[in-house]
Structure formats: structure tokens, C-alpha cells
Structure 1
């Protein structure tokens, strides 16, 4: 008996060690395999995101679920229209739209979100925000947001966004990039709905004080039965050191619509110029050589590159110490990398415009709607305007979206004006 006990006391720890090593090895291999799949843009989740389903022919690919995708489009559209997250959830609940959990179970999936809920799960503001911020809806696969502590513990920990695995254009998009970007901007300010409405105020998230840069707030005056809405500086309203910067909502709507219509006409004009340049067989390289912005960036790059190259001589001549040499070298190198990237981005934009025209970046059809309407609506505002600054002297600065592209259009127009006769002769 003593011998049996001694043998067991010797064998059991060895078996435990072997089993432990085997489990650890298997866990490592599984994680490595999953990492490879994520980096290839293959979907490895147990359940497809709401709006998608797994491709029957390849479970690592996502295909659009037409019914759920339509709900996702409505959610994005309502947010652009100004509805709060809670109001969107309520709209879906009132219409008896099944929540993601309900919908998956109704389709035979043994889905459990991990959140405790009622027998009939309802839509919530948290679910709405999760959908509105998920890049999966623009065709990007984002995975690896969490990881298990170890193969022994099922608990998961959130990973920093810098460690997420994102692969672009892995599956069909439900939402356009343009609309997704607009919604992300609105969520930064996420103007709260007023007490009498489920929607945010018309200019909420767009209008800012030109001096203190804080969002302006909406006020309504009633005189002889008529209501008049206007915006004032939030800092002044709270007793801070600024002025009112007051402006009527109706006046601001008219001014902004007129500005959007002017830019729309500009975009249409540039689209025609781009088409004619393509007929003339003008390459984007010719225009890049004519771009003063790129030229200035290149000059700045050359200057920093020369400064970096001269550091060796400065060190040899004793003009700088070894410590200063290392600091300057790192600083100039970083600046060169930044400028190189900026130049590349500028060239890429011009190339993109030549390959796909203005509409490749600007949703031109959305802008064209402004030419047909007489009153600005919030959807058009969100699709076209970035920010509006109101100054005390009644000056208004409207930052239209695609400012980089607008600057490139000016370059292209100058090139076209100076070279069209020459180009036409060459084509002829």
C-alpha cells in the first residue's frame, strides 16, 4: 500500500504537468491560427454581426442579410436626421422590430450576448451606438477587440484599439463611407434631444462660437404667438468671458444653403473639366507638377533632408555634441517622414480625382439635391458641412467638407485654363 501511494504521488504530478503542457501548446496553436485568419480578413466569430450572415459556401466570409441590413440603413439615416440614440431605439421598439438577439434566435441561432435581459430583449441606446460605430458596415473587418486571460480562464479583457486587427474591403458594405464619417462626427457632439422632441436641434454639432470655439446653444423666443429660434454662445450663456454671437436659425439656414449650392455648382463645373482633361489624355503627373501646395511641401522636405544630411559634418567639426546630433537626427528624420506622407497623400488625391472624377470622393448626387430644394434640411447639412463658426461682427465661416479636394480643384482649373488650347491642338 505504501508502494502504491508512493507511485501515485510520483505519477500524478507528472501526468498533470504533461496535460498542462499539452493544453498550453494547443491553446498557443489555436491563437496563432486565429491571428493568421484575422490578418487575412477572414471572419472567425461564432455569430455574424447584425446585418450580415455567414456565406453558406465559406463560413469565414460575410454576406449581406437584406432584412437586417435595411434596419441598419434606417438607423444610420435616423442618426443623420438628428435623432438621439434613445429615440432611435424607441422607434424600433414601437415598430416591433426584433432586437439583434431576438432576430438571431428567431433564425435558429443559439445566440447569447452575455448581457442579462428580459425574455423579449428590446433595442437600447447602447446597441444603437454599437452599430453606428462598427466599421463592419463599411466593409472593413475589425477583430481581436478582446482576448481571454488564458486558456484556463474564460474571462475576456478589452484590448486597446491600437492592437485591434483591421482589414479593409473584405466584404460588401451596407453603409457608404461618406455617411459613416458623418455619423462619427455627429456622435462626437451627439447633441441631446430637446425636452419636446426626440431629435437634436437643427444645427446641433455644427455651429460653434468663432471666438471661444464652444458649441452654440439654441434658444426660442415667442412674441405675439410666433416663435423665433436663434443661437447664442454657450460660454456667454453660462456667464463666461465671451459675447452672445447671436444669429437667427432661419437666417443661418438660408446662408448655409446658398453656400452649399455655390459649391455644388463648383463641383459640377469641375466634373466637366475633369472629363474634358481625360479626353485630352492629360495625366495626373502633369497636374501634380503644377500644384504649388505639393511644391511647397517638397521644398520643405528638401530643406529638412539637407539639414539632416549636414549633421555629420557639424558633429565632425565640433559644432554640435553627440547628444545634440542624435536629437536633431531623430527630429529631422521624423519631420521628413511626416512631409513625405503629406506629399504622398496630396498626390494620391489628385490621382484619385483623375481615375474616378469628382464623384469618386464627393457624393455628387447628394450635393445636387441642394439645387432643387428651397429650404435646408439636416440630412443635406450633415452630408456637406463640417463646421460653422459665428463671430460677433456677424461674420460667418462655413467649413465645407472635402476642403482638400476643393484646393486640388482650383489647381486643376488653373491648369485647364492655361493649357486647354495647347492640349486640344495635341489631341487634334
Structure 2
């Protein structure tokens, strides 16, 4: 069965679907409830019989924006033609921003040829016309947006009240603590992690720099905060996760400043700029909610004060202007991008001084050597891609020439249509009896149908070939520019280079963008 006949089932459950008093999610909105409702609906539709179903779930994501991994993955599959229909429980699951929802329903999905069905709203785009299937849908989307803003205000107000009562509100506990099994809003000390927290503060108080502390932890193979949390079974999702987790100066700095280790809860330091936005803005200190003795402290006030005095100074360093690290050079050990050396004569791993990993220390190379090697390799690769494009364009041009076949088929189709009229005339004039007429008519009609189908297939094949030729010509111009490059240009080179890993002076590995539509093998 063609992949374009797949049905996408989209399910979303937001953390804000809790009642504002913190009770469990409404059963009607749970992931399992939505899945059951949608699957039962699909089973009852004869047109969906034997159609493959692909499920996309966003559990714990707000509907006020569309920056959700499941939704984004679904739209990427839609753009590639993998799915043809989307089924949802109701529009509030799809999104609560009525303008964006309307944009998807009226513009994006119709352009992609995607059908959308909202079960509880009784909406099926295949039966609708005009503006989003009617004013009722537009009004419902607007009400969803208003509800979301009102819900956000209620949630913020409820969380503020909880915070004032000394309850810990963040989803994850701070490193060094775990959530009390009997009260998820109360922190208790995690003895193993707390020892590392004490070590960090003690080293800082003894005059060790944040870089030295990070390096010591990396060299002694202490699990990072995220690794430790994952080992404890706490799933912490993060985009663009580095392959190698490392203690960093930023992590140490954040820990040293965090008063949670003094037994305090500080809430409302920042707020969301507006409902649905990911941007945070800082609140005035007067607006902060600070609760003392909310849980058992790990660090004493004296140690906290001393560590911060040694680790941070009020003197601002004067930074000299330096070049920006090239985003295509990376360290193969820690996965971070390389930066320039002090005089910008070479590339080196910026984490080498704190990672404690020998591979990071070895990841360096003379700048001129690195750039000339990459430039030379890129020009050769661009030449290969250009030659490959020429071969494919030659094949596509052969397909385009089949337009002559269409003209021949059209001519035959016209002749056969005239023959049908002639057969009828012969039958009326009794030149042909009824049996002879019906036999010849069936043959002629069958051949006309075959020709019509052949013409449609050829037209589609030629249209695809023309599109590919046009795209290949544009790509050819790009790669030819790269093939003719005389100087290192990271913007141009990044068009065909994914990453360059430098292992040691004189040794590198180039990862090419081999999935480029014009370079990869044609899909069957």
C-alpha cells in the first residue's frame, strides 16, 4: 500500500490539563482515552480499512504554540508525503492558538493535500469549504485560545500560592535532592549527590576556580547532573543533546549561586513573556517569592558565602575581540565545536582544559592546514556532485522527450474517437449487425481507456522529470560555486559539509551531507 495512504493519529496532553489544585489529569483528556476514542473512530470508517496508522504523541506539551516534537515530526512526515489524513480528538488537542490553528486548516494542510478530521467537533475537511469549514470552527478555536490564556493565569496564581506555602513546584528536583515520596512538593536530601554538592562548594571555598572544579569532576568520572538524574530514572529531555556529557564552568557557576542548597525556595524570578511564548523575562527582585527553611539544607550559610566570595568577583574582565569559532569544525570526543587558539592561528577543543579527556586535548590543528584541507576536499566533492547531477539530468531529459509519445497517443485517441462515430453510423446503416457493432465498440473503447491512462502516466512522469531538472540546475549552480572557491568560506562549504571532526594535528574526518536530494540514490 502506498505510504501516502497512512493515517496520522495526533494526541496531545498538556501539563496544564491538570486541575489547578494539582490533581491528576482529567480521564477524558488522558493519552489512553484519546487513543481509544480515535482508534474506535477509525475502525468504524470503511474507507480506512487496512490503512496503516502512524501515531504522534506530545505528552506534557502546551497547546499554546506548535513547538512540540510529536507535532513537528508529524508535519515533517506530511511534507514528505508519508501521511494523507490526520485524525484528532478535537481542535484543542491540535492547538489553542486560534490564528495558528486556522492557518494550518485553511492554508498549510490544504496545500499539502492533507485531510484533517476532528471527531468531537464533527469536522472533516473533505466535506468543508470556505473559511475553516464555517464560523463554528473559527469561534471554537478562538474560545480555545481564550480558555488557554485564562487557564495560564489560574495555573500561575495557583503555583504562586503553593510556592508561598513553601512547596517545591519545578518538575525536576535540583541535583543533590530527590522529591519526597510522600509529598512531591517537598525535597529531601539525596546522600550520594549531596556529597558531590558539598565537594563543589568546599573546593570553591578553598580557592579552586570553577574550571578546576569541573576538570577534577570530569577526570574522576563523576556523573554529570543529567547523567545522574537519568540513572535515578528521572527522564530529562533536552534538544541538541551532546554525545559526551561533561561538567562545565556554567554548571558549576549555577550550582554555586543556587540558594536551594541553603534550604530555600525561590519562585517567580522569571515569567513567560506572553501565553504560548518560549521567551522568559526577569521579574524585579521585589516580586520574587523566597521561603526560608522549606527543606533541609545541604550547605551552611558560612560555606555558601565563602564559596561565592572566592568563585565570583565584582571585577569585570576586559575581553579582547576574537574571531568566532567555525561551526563546521568539531571535537570527536566531546562533540562540541572547536574554537580558535589565542592568536587565531589554529583550532582547538575549548573544553580541553576542563573535560579531563585526552581526546579533547588532542583535538587541535593549524588553522591554515585545516581550512586548506577542507577546502580542497570540498572542491573535489562538489565536482563529483556536479558530474552526478549531469548524469541524472541526462536521464531526466530522456523522460522529457517522451512528450513526442504523448502527441502520438493523442493522435491515436482522436482517431479512435472518430472510429466510434463511424461504427455507430455503420450500425445505423446496417453495414454492421448489433453483435459486430458491440464487439468493435468494446475494443475501441477499451483502447481509448488504455491510451488515456498512458497519457496521464506519461504527463506525470514528465512533470516530475522537469521539476527535478529545474532543481538540479539550481543545485548545480551552488556546487559549481563551491568547486570554484579560492578561499575558505564556511557559509558556502556548510551547504555540502555536515561536520568536520579533528582528531589530532594532521588527522580529520569530514561528514558530508550525503542525504542531499541531488546526490543520494533515487528512491524506488
Q: Mark yes or no: TM-score above 0.5.
A: no
Please identify which structure carries the higher helix content: 1
Q: Give the TM-score, by structure 1 length.
A: 0.41
TM-score (norm 2): 0.34
- Of structures 1 and 2, the larger Rg is shown by 2
